[in-house]
Amino acid sequence: MKKITLLLVVALVATTSWAQNPTVTKVWEFSAAPTSDVGGLPGYIKTSTADRCRGMAYGKIGTEKVLVVATRETANAVHVIDASNGTILRQLNISTLTGGTFTLNDVAISTDGKVLICNLSAGTAGTFKVYKWDNILNTTVPTVAISFALTADASRFGDHFVVTGSISAGTAKVYAASQLKVGGAGVNLNSQKILVWSMIEDTNNPGTYIFNQTPQEIFSVVNAGSAWNLPSVCPIPNGKFLYKANGSSMFVLNNDLSLEGTTVSTSIIDGSTNGYKFLKTRTGGAVDTTYIVGFRYSDNRAMIYKLPQYTYTSMVSAAFSNSLGASGNANGTGRVCVQDDEEGTNVYVLASNLGIGKYSVVWPSTPTSLNTTKESLKFTQTTNTLKVQGTTPSTIELFNTLGQKVQSVINRNELNISNLRGVHIVKVNVNGVTSTQKINL
């Protein structure tokens, strides 16, 4: 009896540890908040109602780990910032940028270290443009990577855009989202439009690649009522995408960007959080858990959410960064970006009018006591029961993806699962040896 009790205590401690949230601490911060380092608000960010500094990306370019920040305060500029301390290293050459409602707005960096910046273009006479720098030398003039004339059914592009893959290898894709008001008098439907540009071989330079100027267009009517603002798309490691706009629920999209069918309401994830990025997937322990991070414009901070085993409706808040100041952001603009490498996990936050900061994310240790053996148990399953074959365990315990015990039995080989569905963790104790397995009920 004592041995069984000890195993149960160890399992409880391990499950509790596995369910712990990360901690977030400031590395550096220049803001309007009391937590700011000496120097306060940078000159390229000002407390105003114009929200002129909106775009930021992190990347390793050559040997430098940098942030690239686009601003229109007080004039158009693209700053290259040392990610280690927040100081400006240089500015990119933007002398050839033209057109758009805003000439520059958002920033992205490809996996091979190319910097891309898009304009913001609205209405039926504009052109959505993406510019590309092959390096971050201030003398380099960018090339136009994408130039897309807006049509009569396109309202606004460039609030958010995302780049995945490598430009050099020809695997890069650009995703840009927009909302569109459709329907006649008395009809309030909003069709969320997403454009995707893939790469093709450059016939003028064999062995190199350029973006196909004809994008794939995807429409999904997902809401009735007022149009959502600043829609964004977030790729996640299972091949799907998270679609989110200011004030909206979150929608899960398949890898072809069609609606997957899952909606995460604002009662689960904050409606004022947007611009999500994939943060990290933690493996080991009881269950794999994916973390995403977004910018919450209601209080100007990064919000980290955990997504156990891609169970979207089980998403919960896990941690958050300092607030960069009282909300002075009428448009709900701001950015987060992620560094996850040999230095650890860091989140960068840009609040359009209130500051910029770097925050370290420290993860709790992954428990190992839930994985005490590699012995594989065999189960049989019906609608109502889960049965261990060939033995009668001392205990069978069932945990949900949040680490909560939902069912258990002693000295039996059968567990009642009549009201349980989805991914769970089953832990079985046989002759003092504990084994755990993921199981889909």
Among 139-153, 192-206, 212-226, the least confident range: 212-226
Nearest to 18 by CA among 282, 372, 373, 359: 282
191: left (phi over 0), alpha (psi -120 to 50) or beta: beta
Mean confidence (pLDDT) of the chain? 85
Percent of the chain clearing pLDDT 90 (strictly above): 57
Q: Pick the residue with more confidence: 286 or 133?
A: 133
* Per-residue pLDDT at 369 exceeds 50: no
- The amino acid at 73: E
Tokens of 308: 């156990």
- The amino acid at 233: V
- Architecture of the CATH domain 21-362: 6 Propeller (2.120)
Round to whole Å and give the CA distance between 21 and 239.
25
Integer angstrom CA distances of residue 32 from 208, 317, 333: 45, 25, 16
Confidence of residue 190 (pLDDT cuts 50, 70, 90): low
Mean pLDDT for the stretch of residues 36-61: 92
Compute the CA torsion angle 204, 210, 215, 216 (nearest 10 deg).
110
* Per-residue pLDDT at 408 exceeds 70: yes
Tokens of 335: 């950015």
Burial track 305-318 (b if 16+ CB lie within 10 A, e otherwise): bbbbbbbbebbeeb
Mean pLDDT for the stretch of residues 191-209: 92
pLDDT tens, residue by residue, 292-311: 999 999 999 999 999 988 99
Q: Using alpha carbons only, what angle is made at residue 261 by residues 386 and 419, rounded to the nearest 5 degrees?
A: 25
**Which pLDDT score is estimated for 309?**
86
Tokens of 92: 């990119």
* Contacts with 129 (C-beta within 8 Å, 6 or more apart), sequence order: 97, 99, 100, 118, 119, 121, 144, 146, 147, 148
Helix (H) or strand (E) holding 119: strand 115-122
Q: Select, from the ranges 71-85, 114-128, 256-270, the one with the highest average predicted confidence (pLDDT).
A: 71-85
Mean pLDDT for the stretch of residues 198-203: 96
Per domain, the residue ranges of the chain are: 2-15+368-440, 21-362
113: left (phi over 0), alpha (psi -120 to 50) or beta: left
First to last CA, the chain: 30
Compute the CA torsion angle 257, 129, 125, 353 (nearest 10 deg).
90
* Per-residue pLDDT at 438 exceeds 90: no
* Per-residue pLDDT at 351 exceeds 90: yes
At residue 7, φ and ψ (nearest 5 deg) are -60, -40
Confidence of residue 394 (pLDDT cuts 50, 70, 90): confident
* Contacts with 430 (C-beta within 8 Å, 6 or more apart), sequence order: 377, 391, 393, 394
**Which pLDDT score is estimated for 134?**
94
Round to whole Å and give the CA distance between 187 and 53.
35
**Which pLDDT score is estimated for 50?**
78
Mean pLDDT for the stretch of residues 19-34: 91
Mean pLDDT for the stretch of residues 314-330: 88
Alpha carbon 224 to chain centroid, angstroms? 25
Mean pLDDT for the stretch of residues 171-186: 76
Round to whole Å and give the CA distance between 272 and 246.
6
Nearest to 199 by CA among 165, 233, 176: 165
Among 19-23, 132-136, 369-373, 432-436, the least confident range: 369-373
* Per-residue pLDDT at 19 exceeds 80: no
- 306 neighbors 291 (Cβ within 8 angstroms): yes
**Which pLDDT score is estimated for 418?**
80
- Architecture of the CATH domain 2-15+368-440: Sandwich (2.60)
Mean pLDDT for the stretch of residues 384-404: 82
* Contacts with 75 (C-beta within 8 Å, 6 or more apart), sequence order: none
Mean pLDDT for the stretch of residues 397-411: 80
**Which pLDDT score is estimated for 374?**
40
Q: Which long-range contacts (CB under 8 A, 24 or more apart) does 182-187 make?
A: 182/221
* Per-residue pLDDT at 122 exceeds 70: yes
Q: Select, from the ranges 154-158, 163-167, 180-184, the one with the highest average predicted confidence (pLDDT).
A: 163-167
**Which pLDDT score is estimated for 111?**
95
Among 16-20, 38-42, 176-180, the least confident range: 16-20
**Which pLDDT score is estimated for 178?**
85
Among 120-124, 222-226, 343-347, 425-429, the least confident range: 222-226
Round to whole Å and give the CA distance between 44 and 79.
9
